Amino acid sequence: MKFEQNFLRTSSQLKVSRMTFSKISSNKDNTKSIPYIHRDISWLDFNYRVLQEAMDPSVPLFERIKFLAIYSSNLDEFFRVRVANNRNLFRIGKKTRKRLEFDPKNLLKEVVEIVNKQQVEFNRIFKDQIIPELREHGIFLLEQTDLSDIQLEFIDGYFKDHLLPFVQPVLLVKNKIRPFLNNGALYLAILLEHKQRSDVIHPPRKDYAIVKIPSDHMPRFIKLPSVGSRKDIIMLDDVVRHSIEKYLFPGFNILGSYSIKLTRDAELYIDDEYSGDLIEKIKNSLSKRNVGPASRFVFDRAMPAEMLQFLMKLLELENFDLLEEGRYHNNSDFFTFPDFGMDHLKNTALPPLTYPPLEQAANIFDAIVEKDHINHPPYHSYESVIRFFEDAADDPDVTHIKIIQYRVARKSRIMEALIRAVRNGKQVTVFIEVKARFDEEMNLKWGETLQRAGINVHYSFPGLKVHSKIALIRRMEEGEARLYTYLSTGNFHEDTVKVYSDIGLFTAHPEINSEAARLFGFLETVKLPQESFEHLLVGQFNLRSELVKMIQQEITNAKAGKEARIILKMNSLQDPSMIEWLYEASKAGVKVDLIIRGICSLVPGVPGISDNITAVSIVDRYLEHARIFVFQNGGDEKIYISSADWMVRNLSYRIEAVLPVYDPDLRNEIMDLLDIQLSDNVKARNIHPKLGNQYRSGTGDLNIRAQYETYFYYKRKIEEILRSDTDENDNDHSREFL
């Protein structure tokens, strides 16, 4: 398909992106029914796998609390983006909705039903597992009714000294006061009656009020004065509950207080057009993000029905906006739960491993010329990548540095190296994708900082997202220019590399580097390259078509009686067309192994359709983020690392980069890593709608936990490198002595 056809969002492509649970467009002209799970339903299944980690007794206590926070944070974003999008589809009117191939109302109903069940499970885990285990270790999470006189005095003083300026009480007067609830902020909805009126009016009139819980200004968990070895904590919510009658509504009797939270639509509505100032559009949309329409109203299930109806009318909410929870919301705040220095209740430390061939090399560029290298954080230290840029900034032979910035740390040594490079007289070009969701503001700030430093900054294209993670360095060596490429499955982000499992590859391969330069040339000029891509697979050019060709080759090999296999590791598999090709491969006898962390719209194990497909998801202490594609290709495997998942958006509407792995040692290494993951029988779950995230059982007595196995696999390899270096040095000394 030509670039222009890919670049524009055609109506047929939009149709593919709106498929129902069971129908996708065939490769032929007709439409046929095949197994297919809607991406939002599959994503909820993934988030439940996160919740499973919180209930796993083998996971250390504070790590289980962290998984409660991750689950809640994930769910907040899901409602702000995906649910908000489906609500907007529901609101467009019946006539227009008929053009969709699924019913957004039914989808919303199913989402709410699933989430409500998960919330019940969340509360059960917290009350029946986490709280009792905290008590076993002397940590007590108290409510205001549990407090001693000394503790009551403490929270009285705490409220007056720290909270009073922020609580913002509002007495609700029907049809006169309509409060605006900030996105994601915590509030108490108060049921009260006037003390004087209650003596003369029977039955007394009930009033309502809203009080903000200032968790955006103060810690959510407050340590209380405790006796002996006890460690008492109270949540900020309960400090406010205790104080409202005495300090905020002294003329009222408080009949009840119920926590509420409103989540607002966070999707940026930016027209896909080719004129106008995209950066200004982004900035304008960012200013509106926190005032968008409601996408979820979370409330305490103990709230009286009459009060809930009052709030629904006041805030203009509908039934499918409602999500009942327990006494507390914003459980992502569990990230800040105090640990009291009890490190034995956390994961055993796995310090990142030094990679000597690059980190200890006399010259990092000479080491890359000698052979390709893999960096695999968080198992490997990220210093190899940082050194790549820092050495380039200071090396007098380096003339150019180019990089794509998708997400970047608030404090970044890489960005600092780029600024230093331009001061050292080098030409530095940075392409900044300002449409990286929830990182738009940070990317814009970095863009302005880099521009002020003299760096050549290019920004997003309207209608197209640049998602590849690639860097290119040009260095003069013996009068000739040599290029160096680093391509990663993850971002140039020094913070997330501590918890995201990604693979990056350094290479001086001339043809790959030439094509990487061609990609940067397109990003800088928006002119189509004169030559095609033969080594790299690049979104908008050859990515989808080449992937299909490789699947077709496996189908041909299987039909010819040859061994045929595909291994795909990625975050999400949702593209209907690619799923259909995998079904065709399975029917032809190709063995397909899927390692999918998140969304998996493909249904494995369906008789006659996907018998030869297995799918697992690994959720553990690190976020599985690497994308690896392997095609057996008649014994001459094609192995790639990629920035792209197999989603409609990645394969049709983004610039992605997929890098072939040619070095024999690295090819073996990647196959070893995939074998480890496919052998996981501790943290791997079977992906299948009827199996309910069932843990994958082992075939022997040995437990294999892929992330730990990977860490020690690399530790052994590095020890071998160090031993080899020691032996070489000893031999050198022996020869010198002789």
CB count, 10 Å around CB of 569? Answer: 26
Residue-by-residue DSSP string for 35-71: ----HHHHHHHHHHHHHHHHH-TTS-HHHHHHHHHHH
Query: What are the CA-CA distances from residue 145 to residues 9, 142, 234, 547 (Å)?
Result: 59, 8, 11, 62
The number of C-alpha atoms within 13 Å of 153 and in the hemisphere containing its C-beta is 5
Distance between CA 154 and CA 534 in Å, rounded? 69
Backbone angles phi, psi at 69, to 5 degrees: -65, -45
* Residue in 376, 400, 458, 467 annotated catalytic: 467
Q: In the annotation, is 400 catalytic?
A: no
Q: Burial of 205 by CB count in 10 Å (0-12 exposed, 13-18 middle, 19+ buried)?
A: exposed
Name 335's Cβ contacts closer than 8 Å, sequence gap at least 6. 66, 69, 73
Query: What are the CA-CA distances from residue 585 to residues 546, 589, 631, 660, 671 (Å)?
Result: 15, 6, 12, 22, 21
Please answer whether residues 604 and 583 qualify as being in contact, where contact means their C-beta atoms are separated by less than 8 angstroms. no
Name 654's Cβ contacts closer than 8 Å, sequence gap at least 6. 464, 465, 466, 467, 539, 540, 644
Q: Roughly what angle, to the nearest 10 degrees, separates helices 278-288 and 440-452?
A: 140
Strands (E), 386-518: 398-405, 427-432, 456-459, 465-466, 469-477, 480-488, 500-501, 504-507
The one-letter amino acid at 470: I
Please answer whether residues 458 and 432 qualify as being in contact, where contact means their C-beta atoms are separated by less than 8 angstroms. yes
Query: What are the CA-CA distances from residue 674 to residues 229, 448, 568, 593, 706 (Å)?
Result: 47, 41, 9, 10, 9
Closest CA to 714 of 388, 351, 386, 359: 351
Please give the span between the terminal C-alpha atoms of the chain, in angstroms, as a whole number.
67
List, as own/partner pairs, every contact residues 117-123 make where C-beta atoms lie below 8 angstroms and the sequence separation is at least 24, other chains included.
118/44, 118/47, 118/48, 118/51, 119/323, 119/324, 119/325, 119/326, 121/51, 121/55, 122/51, 122/54, 122/68, 122/71, 122/72, 122/325, 122/331, 123/325, 123/326
DSSP label of 18: T
- Angle, vertex CA 550, rays to CA 546 and CA 553, nearest 5: 135
| DSSP H or E stretch at residue 254 | strand 252-264
- 625 Ramachandran zone, left/alpha/beta (phi>0; psi -120 to 50): alpha
Q: Burial of 536 by CB count in 10 Å (0-12 exposed, 13-18 middle, 19+ buried)?
A: buried
| DSSP H or E stretch at residue 671 | helix 664-678
Task: Calculate the CA dihedral of residues 697, 699, 705, 711 and round it to 10 degrees.
Answer: -160
3-state secondary structure of 592: strand
Residue-by-residue DSSP string for 139-203: EEEE-GGG--HHHHHHHHHHIIIIITTT---EEE-TTT--PPPPTT-EEEEEEEEETTHHHHSSS
- Residues marked active site are found at 467
